[in-house]
Amino acid sequence: MDFLKNLGITDLNYGTSTGQNHFGAGKTFDSHTPINGKKIAAVRETTRAEYDQVMDVAQEAFPVWRMMPAPKRGEIVRQIGDELRKHKEDLGRLVSYEMGKIYQEGLGEVQEMIDICDFAVGLSRQLYGLTMHSERPLHRMYEQWHPLGVVGIISAFNFPVAVYSWNAMIAAVCGDVVVWKPSEKVPLCGVAVQNIIAKVLKANDLPEGIFAMINGGREVGEWMTNDTRVPLISATGSIRMGKQVAQVVGARLGRSLLELGGNNAIIIGKDADLEMAIRATVFGAVGTAGQRCTSTRRLIVHEDIFEQVRDRLISIYEKITIGDPLAGGTLVGPLIDADAVHAMQAALKQLEEEGGQVVFGGEPLSGSNGIGLPEGASTDLNGGHYVRPAICIAENDYEIVQEETFAPILYLIPYQDLDEAVSTQNGVKQGLSSAMFTLNLRDAEYFLSHQGSDCGIANINIGTSGAEIGGAFGGEKETGGGRESGSDSWKAYMRRQTNTINWGTDLPLAQGISFDVD
């Protein structure tokens, strides 16, 4: 396929990279497309010796990179953004091919990388500190920010390139160097990004190690989380994984930036614009086949319009096109692998055992005979991991509703009054994204107040998915508390230093302390 060749993806790609060079001696593992289960290419897993080599090269690059003025670092990131523009279609197609999201979403993910590069370029001239007045005469106080060093990034399969860029491009303009472990389910996306960045590094005669990559599974990630040479670990994934990362990194007094699970809800008030609410719900629930951390998993609907909303959703779900994500007109591609399909089936079975009801969909679809797939769908989809998105009736306190199932399952939950709706929205252990559809100003302001949503993201009349890069992204409670992307999230990648300068001839002490020495 031309897009693979254009990105430097050949039959065998070494999965360890320091800047311009790929290398590897470890065992190989295969990348498969969830479209039909076929092998794309083989990747070499990073060995322990290679890991240490990557860290050595990154540490050598750090003193050079941090001494480059921040606006000059921003210029390098600007060039990376331009190189991504050249490869947007090819990289977007690879994201779709290796991960399974539809091509339009693959393009959107690469555009998000480009946008964060633009954001980081401006940020490179805005790494502001503060000045403050000293209580002592002829003293000046201020604070400034310094780079941390090596930043380790562990990313998840569902956004194989965008979330990496949130961290890497901002860390880079802050003066840090980056070591990235992409998900072992989508390693070729990582290889492709490294190839794109390598062109910029080489053109600017920059040292290896500013942007490095390691590849493999849990063991490789654990090397980095245990490594005192890595002061910050930014990890995206499950709550279970995040708790392990937090414990290991905390034990060595390192920093963790965690973006973990979501169990996101939309509240639909009886005075909502229903067509807007329904459209946002459908995108949030079935976009990326329900494999976003911001996917809409719970729909909390006023009892007066509950049946109307349920029936409207079913009528739309009946028409949703499921199939090859690279084909035009497809709205829902495959789940990432067979395990994800099995997890969805287990969740639906548990729901029914707890007293809930599946009112539409939920079944696996066979690519070999086209059941449930668009008319005329290719038999080449055999081996893909397709499901029909599910609509369910549930109660919020069901054990399965309290968990995040990474699949297109939407739980409909009725409510009577606003306090009940907000309590239901907040009544889960995750706290990432939330939304409310209402034309009532008082209800909207209540939802956004300290009495309302307890999530890191709270929206009015837009859904839970599709965050812009300008705002800080992240959540509370077991979502981890991290913030990435926009606003002042750059501070996570730097260390704060307070400075006091005495430019007088005396040595007064703070708080008026007298300490005379003859």
What is the distance between the alpha carbons of residues 76 and 23, in angstroms, rounded to a whole number? 24
Return the bridge partners of 131, or none: 142
Query: Is pLDDT at 112 greater than 90 in this prediction?
Result: yes
Identify the pLDDT of residue 370: 44
- CA dihedral 374→378→383→386, nearest 10 degrees, is -10
Average pLDDT over residues 152-170: 98
Identify the pLDDT of residue 369: 41
Identify the pLDDT of residue 379: 57
- Which residue has 């008082």 as its token pair? 442
What's the pLDDT band for 96 if we cut at 50, 70, 90?
Answer: very high
| Annotated catalytic residue 455 | no
| Annotated catalytic residue 293 | yes
Average pLDDT over residues 462-470: 94
DSSP per position, 279-315: HHHHHHHHGGGG-STT-EEEEEEETTTHHHHHHHHHH
What are the two backbone dihedrals, phi and then psi, of residue 5, each rounded to the nearest 5 degrees? Answer: -65, -40
Among the listed residues 117, 293, 392, 455, the single catalytic one is 293
For residue 409, give the amino acid letter. Answer: I
Q: Tell me which H or E stretch contains 497.
A: strand 494-502
Which residues lie below 8 Å from residue 386, measured CB to CB, with a gap of 6+? 322, 323, 333, 334, 335, 364, 365, 366, 367, 372, 373
Average pLDDT over residues 52-72: 97
Helix runs in 100-174, H state only = 103-123, 162-173
Determine the number of helices (DSSP H) and then strands (DSSP E) in the chain: 15, 26
Query: Is pLDDT at 377 greater than 70 in this prediction?
Result: no
What's the pLDDT band for 113 if we cut at 50, 70, 90?
Answer: very high
Which residues lie below 8 Å from residue 94, measured CB to CB, with a gap of 6+? 3, 4, 7, 9, 106, 188, 189, 192
What's the pLDDT band for 368 if we cut at 50, 70, 90?
Answer: very low
Query: Is pLDDT at 209 greater than 90 in this prediction?
Result: yes
Average pLDDT over residues 199-203: 96
Query: Is pLDDT at 140 greater than 80 in this prediction?
Result: yes
SS3 430: strand
Average pLDDT over residues 48-53: 96
Identify the pLDDT of residue 20: 66
What is the distance between the alpha carbons of residues 35 and 192, in angstroms, rounded to a whole number? 19
Query: Is pLDDT at 335 greater than 60 in this prediction?
Result: yes
Identify the pLDDT of residue 371: 47
Among the listed residues 83, 105, 184, 259, the single catalytic one is 259
Beta strands 211-213; 177-181: pairing state: parallel
What's the pLDDT band for 18 if we cut at 50, 70, 90?
Answer: confident
Identify the pLDDT of residue 71: 98
Question: Among 129-138, 178-187, 369-378, 407-416, which is the least confidently predicted range?
Answer: 369-378
Question: Among 11-20, 64-73, 254-263, which is the least confidently predicted range?
Answer: 11-20
What's the pLDDT band for 22 if we cut at 50, 70, 90?
Answer: confident
* CB 206 within 8 Å of CB 19: yes
DSSP 102: -
DSSP 491: G
b/e burial code for range 112-150 (CB count within 10 A of at least 16 → b): bbbbbbebbbebbeebeeeeeebebeeeeeeeebebbbb
The residue among 22, 167, 35 whose CA lies nearest residue 101 is 35
DSSP 68: S
Mean residue pLDDT of the chain comes to 95
What is the distance between the alpha carbons of residues 295 and 240, in angstroms, rounded to a whole number? 19
What are the two backbone dihedrals, phi and then psi, of residue 220, each rounded to the nearest 5 degrees? Answer: -65, -40
Q: What is the pLDDT of residues 239-296, one digit of tens each?
A: 999 999 999 999 999 999 999 999 999 999 999 999 999 999 999 999 999 999 999 9
What's the pLDDT band for 180 if we cut at 50, 70, 90?
Answer: very high
What is the distance between the alpha carbons of residues 168 and 438, in angstroms, rounded to a whole number? 37
What is the distance between the alpha carbons of residues 25 and 115, in angstroms, rounded to a whole number? 36
Identify the pLDDT of residue 114: 98
Query: Is pLDDT at 386 greater than 70 in this prediction?
Result: yes
* 3-state secondary structure string across 117-134: HHHHHHHCCCCCCCEECC
